[in-house]
Amino acid sequence: MLKLGVIGTSWICRQFIDAALETGKYELKAVYSRSIQKGQEFVADFSDVQIFDGLTEFVNNIEIDLVYIASPNSLHYQQAKAAIEAGKNVIVEKPAFSNPTEFEEIFELAAKKKLFVLEAARHIHDTAFAVIKSFLSDKTILSANLTYAKYSSKMAALLAGELPNKWNPKFSGGILADLGVYLIYWTIAQFGKAESVDYQAKLLSSGVDVSGHGILHYEDFDVSFFNAGNLTSYLASEIYTDEGTLVLDSVAGTGKAAFVKINGETEEFEIQTAENPLFDEADAFADILENANQEKYAVLQALAQQVNQTLFSMRQKARIVFEADK
Ligand SMILES: NC(=O)c1ccc[n+]([C@@H]2O[C@H](COP(=O)([O-])OP(=O)(O)OC[C@H]3O[C@@H](n4cnc5c(N)ncnc54)[C@H](OP(=O)(O)O)[C@@H]3O)[C@@H](O)[C@H]2O)c1
């Protein structure tokens, strides 16, 4: 059993706990919150869970061997570092770290301590992802157009003059770090690291992006994408091949997929989705952690590194600077 401690008390943390427990491979042992009362309310449905409001005491708790981090993006680095120094494996929400400097430091430290750091990019662990990858493997890719744009629940606060974590450069916020990361993960996990990238964005007065258009350039094709948090798009994502067009309702958790052949014939895919969208990810991570599966870990680590470098290059193109970069 993986003895889990979690950082954060928001809905995504609860969803991960539910997914982890559903696999039957984890038990929840501890929660870190800035507020003991908030922590107690958060674990009201569970028994025998310790609550900590001090990070050092939390990570050094001998009851846990794994820390899941679901805090604002810029805090991941110091929290992951503290957990690794205390000898714990880490699962960290996407985007794992603010820039390549943080990324390299954390992964070097983890390697030295023979510990695992896993980035929670849930959609690449979905069965749909593997089905699509296998389907595309014998096709020639000509181009792709991906979209992820959803009116943010934090938009009202922003418009009222507040600065929610999500839109704050102090917390490594912005739409590329929030929704864009799904598109970049999907693209790199499907096609490998791009030769070069572009990103043009609409910036908020805080300095981070609220919407933007990106391109990943490959030798024989480009993948372009649109991401936004100030509007909702109902467009599908499309991958154009020499045999026809693959149409996905979303790449950030595909529910529907169809291939429209050049002659217009359409082939619908049978897509199995888990009820909890984090289930497949929690199960995949348990396999790596319980069996010390170095082969699978190396693949995920290389992918996480390429995504981190790509996000950084795109931010540089759009002149988005986080406090963590300074
Ligand atoms: N994989 C997915 O589907 C998915 C979905 C949503 C979010 N995420 C990722 O999950 C992470 C958290 O996102 P979120 O929207 O849940 O963030 P959030 O609500 O801003 O913060 C998450 C938690 O961090 C703590 N926190 C908030 N502000 C803090 C501050 N100023 N200083 C220290 N701790 C603070 C809070 O816990 P306490 O008050 O208890 O300390 C809060 O519950 C992000 O990296 C995000 O990208 C992933």
Which residue CA neighbors atom 29 of ligand 1 most closely? Answer: 72
> What pLDDT was estimated at residue 273?
92
Check if the beta carbon of residue 249 is closer than 8 Å to that of residue 257: yes
Rounded to an integer, what distance in angstroms lies between the CA atom of residue 189 and that of residue 193? 8
Tell the CATH topology of 2-114.
Answer: Rossmann fold (3.40.50)
172: phi > 0 → left, psi -120 to 50 → alpha, else beta; which?
left
How much distance in Å is there from the Cα of 64 to the middle of ligand 1?
A: 21
Residue with tokens 């001090």: 54
% of the chain surpassing 70 pLDDT: 100
In the reported structure, the alpha carbon of residue 173 is separated from the centroid of ligand 1 by a whole-number distance in angstroms of: 11
Q: 24-60 b/e with 16+ CB inside 10 Å = b?
A: ebbbbbbbbbeeeeebeebbeeeeebbbbeebeebbb
Q: Which amino acid is at 306?
A: Q
CA of 71 to the centre of ligand 1 (A): 4
Q: What is the pLDDT of residues 244-299, one digit of tens each?
A: 999 999 999 999 999 999 999 999 999 989 999 999 999 999 999 999 999 999 99
What integer pLDDT is reported at residue 90 of this predicted model?
98
> pLDDT tens, 217-251?
999 999 999 999 999 999 999 999 999 999 999 99
User: 264 with 243: CB under 8 angstroms?
Assistant: no
Which pLDDT belongs to residue 106?
Answer: 98
Hey, what amino acid is at 31?
A: V
Cα of 244 from ligand 1 centre, angstroms: 40
What integer pLDDT is reported at residue 315 of this predicted model? 98
3 state DSSP class of 251? coil
Kindly state the average pLDDT of the residues 144-172: 97
pLDDT band, residue 41 (cuts 50/70/90): very high
DSSP 8-state class, residue 163: -
Instruction: Supply the pLDDT for residue 141.
Output: 98
| pLDDT (average), residues 37-64 | 97
pLDDT for the residue numbered 120: 98
**Which backbone phi and psi does 149 adopt, to 5 degrees?**
-140, 120
- pLDDT band, residue 148 (cuts 50/70/90): very high
Is there a cis peptide before residue 95, judged by omega within 30 degrees of 0? Answer: yes
Confidence bin at 178 (pLDDT 50/70/90): very high
* pTM strictly above 0.85: yes
Average pLDDT of the segment spanning 149-174 = 97
Quick one: average pLDDT of 131-137? 97
Q: At what angle do helices 76-85 and 100-112 cross, to 10 degrees?
A: 10
Tokens 């790449």 identify what position? Answer: 251
Q: Give the chain's mean pLDDT.
A: 98
**φ, ψ for residue 244 (rounded to 5)?**
150, -165
CA-CA distance, 196 to 313, in Å (whole number)?
A: 9
What CA–CA distances, in Å, run from 91 to 64, 94, 107, 229? 13, 10, 12, 26
Pocket test for ligand 1, best of 7, 9, 12 (most atoms within 8 A of CB): 12
* Per-residue pLDDT, 245: 98
Give the list of residues 6+ apart from residue 18 with CB closer than 8 angstroms, or none. Answer: 276, 278
pLDDT of residue 302: 98
Portions of the chain given CATH number 3.30.360.10: 128-272
Q: What is the pLDDT of residue 257?
A: 98
Domain 128-272 has CATH 1.10.3720.10: no
Q: Tokens standing for 105?
A: 């430091």
- Cβ neighbours of residue 198 closer than 8 Å, sequence gap 6 or more: 214, 215, 217, 314, 317
Angle at 268 between CA 264 and CA 270, to 5 degrees: 170
pLDDT confidence tier of residue 124, bands split at 50, 70 and 90: very high
- Ligand 1 atom closest to 73 (CA): 45
Which residue ranges does the chain devote to CATH 3.40.50.720? 2-114
What's the rounded Cα separation, in Å, for the pair 64 and 60? Answer: 8
Ligand 1 nearest-atom number relative to CA 177 = 47
What pLDDT shows up at residue 326? 93
Residue 233: C-alpha distances to residues 230, 254, 304 (Å)? 10, 15, 27
Kindly tell me the burial class for residue 134, based on how many C-beta atoms sit within 10 Å of its own C-beta (0-12, 13-18, 19 or more): exposed
Residue 115 has a pLDDT of: 98
Q: What is the pLDDT of residue 44?
A: 97
